[in-house]
A = this chain, B = another copy of it.
Amino acid sequence: MEDITAFYYKRIKASSDALNTIFLNDYHKFVDKEVLNLTPKQSILLDLLNEKPLTNSEIAKHFSITPSAATQLINKLEKKGYLKREINLNNRREIIVHLDEKGIEYNQLMLKFELHLIQKYYSKLSEKDLENLVDLQEKIYKIALEIQKREGN
């Protein structure tokens, strides 16, 4: 079974790498050099903060990193104007991290880029294929979530 899984995984990886290279070419037309140089973790954090502001310890917990590593991550993005710290008005001893102007712009750009990918590529799949793709993606996510829970993360 392991060998079969490896065979399929290699094919998934090959096409997904190639697809990502095509998407990256499109991405270059949407964003400037600074955004291109954001690390995956920095991008994920900006995406997370788009849902709601978070405390330092919530951010540390999300990435399974130490609070001081989270502070470093926040500092770098704050210095560049992507996010800002504010006192929590409900608990004045707590600092909350919000998106700043460039962080808001970043998320608007990502939304625009997603719509671009939908219109240009995904809309060419049949509805049945799209449905299958969603189902499989959610299945592997549920498996991963289950395993993660069992590990106690």
Contacts and interface: CB of A to CB of B under 8 A. Distances in A.
A143 B119 contact: no
Contact of A36 (B39, B121, B132, B141): B39
Interface of A is mostly: helix
Contact of A19 (B8, B13, B134, B141): B141
Question: How often does this chain occur in the complex, in copies?
Answer: 2
A25 interface: yes
- Chain A interface residue bracket vs B: 35 or more
Interface of A: 1-2, 4-6, 8-9, 11-13, 15-25, 28, 36-41, 44, 47, 62-65, 114-115, 117-125, 127, 129-134, 136-141, 143-145, 147-148, 153
